[in-house]
Amino acid sequence: MLNKKYFFIGIGGIGMSSIAQFLHDKGNIVFGYDQSNNRSIEILLKKGIAITNKLNLEEIPEDIMGEDLEIIYTPAIKKDNIFLNYFISNGKNKIYKRSEILGEISQTSKCIAVAGTHGKTTTTAIISDLFYSYGLKFKAFVGGIMKGHNSNYLFTGDDYVIVEADEYDRSFLNLSPDYAVITSLDSDHLDIYGDFESLSKSFKLFSKSVKNSLVVEKDINIKGDFTFSIKNDADYKASSIIIKNDGIIFDFKTPDNFFTKIYVNIIGLHNLKNVLSALSIIDQIKEIEISELLPFLSDLNGIERRMDIYKIDDKIIIDDYAHHPTEIESVLNTINSNYKNKSTSVIFQPHLFSRTRDFMEDFATVLSKFDEVYLLEIYPAREKPIEGVSSKVLLEKISSEKKEIINKELINDIIINSKTEVISILGAGNITENLNKKIFTND
């Protein structure tokens, strides 16, 4: 992957942009297309990577347009995309899915892969943060912007590679990791898999690709080498859990050791589970002494939009990427444990028509637990509308006394004017584009 020319179709995707940075930093020529601007695009532009938002073949520079130009695209890009369609029809250029390139990259170092329907981004970031603080030589491809690094890509050397093993479009089956952890397994991406059984089969196939050690959450029906849990007995277990306003203290059992009163700078039991999953797979790497990494947990940077906590006047503002009923439930559980007996509201942007359809009743149930509910229209991402699926239909199923559909331009007004004490801003789309964080203070 040296001295090559690459064209990324959908370069602003969180998974695409990290690979683009890696290839650019290796000295390759990288050019990309994406329809809109975002944080990933801003990071790429600062690195000097040229990007167009125009669907026009003439936008591709003449000096790279040739048979040696290699094409990388995200599965969110449809085959009728003008760029992808041209190169497929032309038949002269090598064309790769994002996951195929990541698979090739992961073979160059000892690979640590993080899989799971929930928690994989945070877990990947925790592993990366600990490796960075300890001074290990690694590269990391993270599905979110890491605080403290302002990037979804880290590089300090080539001894290890840390990757998210994304189940969407069965992408993770292109990996052959040395070490892996499966954080969770829940129904999702049914537009791809059809049902939970098919999703589960895909995870089982992934589990068989792991060369050395696989650690699996205790409740998951997948055979691994070791298990972890924050509630059941397992090979790796968190116990004596004490919840603080700004973090969690816990004891940590491994197959060979027991560590007491560890402090971690996160909130939410779901995030403690992510910490435990990170520690369990690190402990499987013989070259690393886990006890020497534990002190760095007190200074974890975390990921943007993963339980970001702010204040405005006397209100608590929670900004989180939660876009699945299980994830929203985790946010709500954290509110109930850290901010007991406070009134709550949620501003939620449903993500994908198919996900809203598949989990309509579950979304209605969990959102009804908030005192006030404000819904944005569904963020379509890669999808076209589905008849009978809308935020209005979802709203009618929600039982909260105060509920309405709003435009995202009204988010700041809702935050300022709501009388509730804890306001959650949830969703994986563009819900924060109009959010004025300048009115907040850090908690």
Distances (CA, A) of 312 to 291, 307, 320, 362, 403: 39, 16, 17, 30, 22
* Structural domain boundaries in the chain: 5-96, 107-299, 308-442
Report the pLDDT averaged over residues 9-13: 95
> What is the rounded CA–CA span in Å between residue 410 and residue 147?
27
pLDDT of residue 75: 84
pLDDT of residue 40: 93
Share of the chain above pLDDT 70, in %: 100
pLDDT of residue 142: 96
pLDDT of residue 38: 87
> What is the rounded CA–CA span in Å between residue 116 and residue 202?
11
- Number of alpha carbons in the 13 Å side-chain half-sphere of residue 108: 15
- Per DSSP, 379 falls in state B
Strands, sheet with 441-442, edge to edge from the N-terminal-most edge strand: 402-405, 372-375, 344-348, 422-426, 315-320, 308-312, 441-442
CATH of domain 308-442: 3.90.190.20
> What is the rounded CA–CA span in Å between residue 242 and residue 248?
6
Residue 3 has pLDDT above 90, yes or no: no
Cβ proximity of 113 and 106 under 8 Å: yes
pLDDT of residue 78: 86
- Tokens standing for 77? 């890009």
- Of the given ranges (2-6, 9-13, 155-159, 357-361), which has the lowest mean pLDDT? 2-6
Report the pLDDT averaged over residues 300-304: 91
> What is the rounded CA–CA span in Å between residue 235 and residue 226?
6
Q: Which CATH superfamily is domain 5-96 in?
A: NAD(P)-binding Rossmann-like Domain (3.40.50.720)
| pLDDT band of 36, cuts 50, 70, 90 | confident
Say if strands 29-33 and 5-9 run parallel, antiparallel, or are unpaired.
Answer: parallel
- Of the given ranges (158-172, 355-369, 425-439), which has the lowest mean pLDDT? 425-439
Residue 1 has pLDDT above 80, yes or no: no
Residue 283 has pLDDT above 90, yes or no: yes
Buried b (16+ CB within 10 A) or exposed e, 410-432: ebbebbeebebbbbbbbbbbebb
The amino acid at 152: N
* pLDDT tens by residue, 40-74: 999 999 999 999 999 999 999 999 999 999 999 99
* pLDDT tens by residue, 111-157: 999 999 999 999 999 999 999 999 999 999 999 999 999 999 999 99
Given this chain, do its domains 5-96 and 308-442 carry the same CATH topology?
no
The pLDDT mean for the chain works out to 95
* pLDDT tens by residue, 96-105: 999 999 999 9
| pLDDT band of 340, cuts 50, 70, 90 | very high
* pLDDT tens by residue, 213-257: 999 999 999 999 999 999 999 999 999 999 998 899 999 999 999
Return the percent helix, strand and coil in the chain, to nearest 5: 35, 25, 40
pLDDT of residue 229: 97
Report the pLDDT averaged over residues 292-317: 94
Cβ proximity of 138 and 162 under 8 Å: yes
Report the pLDDT averaged over residues 357-385: 96
Residue 392 has pLDDT above 70, yes or no: yes
Quick one: fold of 107-299? UDP-N-acetylmuramoyl-L-alanine:D-glutamate ligase (3.40.1190)
Cβ proximity of 131 and 160 under 8 Å: yes
> What is the rounded CA–CA span in Å between residue 312 and residue 321?
20
Say if strands 138-146 and 151-155 run parallel, antiparallel, or are unpaired.
Answer: antiparallel
Residue 443 has pLDDT above 60, yes or no: no
* pLDDT tens by residue, 156-204: 999 999 999 999 889 899 999 999 999 999 888 888 889 999 999 999 9
Cβ proximity of 166 and 99 under 8 Å: yes
Q: Cβ–Cβ contacts within 10 Å for residue 21, how many?
A: 23
Residue 260 has pLDDT above 70, yes or no: yes
Q: What is the pTM of this model?
A: 0.93
Three-state DSSP state, 216 = strand
Residue 433 has pLDDT above 90, yes or no: no
